[in-house]
Amino acid sequence: MQTLLVILILLAAGATLFVLVKGVIGMAQGKDVTGVRSQQLMRKRVMFQAVAIILVVLLLAIAGSGG
């Protein structure tokens, strides 16, 4: 179970990094004048971060209970 959680945490962190880099590149190019795309990417980044944090909390709870 712990191995699965670690893999899921890595996937969520990787997805967060991917969306973050995509947003930074998009801002650097300056093509998104209205900021709609930037907002969409920010929402996705926050969602992936929340998933990663929840998974870390679950991992710590399982590790703390000895399971």
pLDDT along the chain (67 residues), means of 10: 94 97 91 87 96 96 85
pLDDT score at 25: 92
Alpha carbon of residue 26 to chain centroid: 18
Residues in Cβ contact with 4 at an 8 Å cutoff, skipping those fewer than 6 apart:
none
Residues in Cβ contact with 5 at an 8 Å cutoff, skipping those fewer than 6 apart:
55, 58, 59, 62
pLDDT score at 45: 96
pLDDT score at 33: 79
Q: Indicate if the alpha-carbon torsion angle 12, 18, 21, 27 is positive or negative.
A: negative
pLDDT score at 67: 60
Amino acid at 19: V
Amino acid at 59: L
